Amino acid sequence: MEFTIPSFFIPTGSQHCNICGINTNFWFIRGHNNDATVKYNIIGGGRRKVNCPNCCSSDRDRLIKLFFEDLPPSGNILHVAPEKALLRILKNKPNIHLTQIDKKVGWYKYIYGRDVKDGDLTELQFENEQFDWVIANHVLEHIENENFAIEEIYRVLKPDGKAIIQIPFSRKIKSTIEAKPNWSKSVKVKKLGQKDHVRLYGLDFPNRWNKFKVNILEPKDSNIVKKLNLNDQEPVILLSKSNFLQKIQNFNRKSFEKIVKT
C-alpha cells in the first residue's frame, strides 16, 4: 500500500514533481541496498530518496513523463505491470486507448484493480500489430523466457510502434548475469540484487534485443535532472521497429540527447 501526504502538509522547495505538480525538497525513500546493488551500482535499483510524497511517483516515472513531453504517446497503448503514477498521465486522454495487464503472481495479485487484466508478456492474447506503444518497466528481469517476451512485444507493435522497456542494469559489467536454476532467493539477492530477479543486465542489453532499433536517450540538461530529482545515470530505453526517430525533426532539440541506435 502506498503512503502519501496531502500537498498542503508537504514543505515547499526548489525541486518539482512533474506528475502531480508539487514543489518540494522532501522525498520518500525507495529501494534497498545489498551486496549486488552496491557492488554493481545497479541503475534503477538501490536505496534512494526519490518518491514523491504526494503522488508516490518514482524518479523513473518522472523521467518517462519528461520524455513524453518531447514525444507524447497516442493511439493504442499496452501498459504492462502499470505504475499508478504513469496512469495519471495516460488514463482518460482522448487520443489514447489504454490496455493494462499483469501476470499477477504472488502479492501482485492484490495491488491491481479491475482495469488491469491478467496477462503474460511471453504469451500475449492480442492480434498482430495492434499497439502503437508498449510500456513495460522493470518487467524483463523477472521473465525467464526473455526472448519470448521480446518476440511478443515485436509482434503486437504496429510497424511504427515504440516500446519503453526500462530495466535494472549495471555499467560495471559487460555481459548480463543470468541466474542458475539452482540459485535460491538469497543467492539471487546477493548476485542480482533482488530475490525475484532472474538476471542482472549488463552493457550488452541492446544486443540482446537486436530485433528492434534500440535507442538510449538521456536528459541533456543537468538542471532538469536535479529539479525533477531524477537518477542522473538512468536513460530512457526506447525500442522501435523502424528508425522512426529520424523522421521527427525537432525531437532532439528539447530535453533528450545521446541517441544510440543498434
> How many Cβ atoms sit within 10 Å of the Cβ of residue 68?
17
146 vs 152: CA distance, rounded Å? 10
Read off the pTM. 0.92
44 vs 170: CA distance, rounded Å? 9
* pLDDT tens digits, 86-137: 999 999 889 999 999 999 776 666 677 889 999 999 999 999 999 999 999 9
DSSP β-ladder status, 28-30 and 48-51: antiparallel
Task: Output phi, psi for 222, to 5 deg.
Answer: -65, -25
Domain 58-257, CATH 3.40.50.150 — does that match?
yes
CA 58 vs. chain centroid, Å, equals 10
Residue with cell 511517483: 57
* pLDDT tens digits, 136-162: 999 999 999 999 999 999 999 999 999
Residues 6+ apart with CB under 8 A from 4: 53, 54, 55, 56
186 vs 36: CA distance, rounded Å? 11
Cell triple for 87: 496512469
Per-residue pLDDT of the chain (262 residues; tens, 9 = 90+): 466 777 767 889 999 999 999 999 999 999 999 999 999 999 999 999 999 999 999 999 999 999 999 899 999 999 999 999 999 999 988 999 999 999 977 666 667 788 999 999 999 999 999 999 999 999 999 999 999 999 999 999 999 999 999 999 999 999 999 999 999 999 999 999 999 999 999 999 999 999 999 999 999 899 999 999 999 999 999 999 987 665 554 455 567 775 454 4
Spell out the domain ranges in the chain: 58-257
92 vs 181: CA distance, rounded Å? 43
64 vs 23: CA distance, rounded Å? 18
Rg, C-alpha atoms of the chain:
18
In this structure, which long-range contacts are made by residues 5-14, counting pairs with CB atoms below 8 Å and at least 24 apart in sequence? 5/53, 5/54, 6/54, 7/54, 10/53, 10/54, 14/227
Coil, helix or strand at residue 43 = strand
Cell triple for 259: 541517441
- DSSP run (H or E) holding 75: strand 75-80
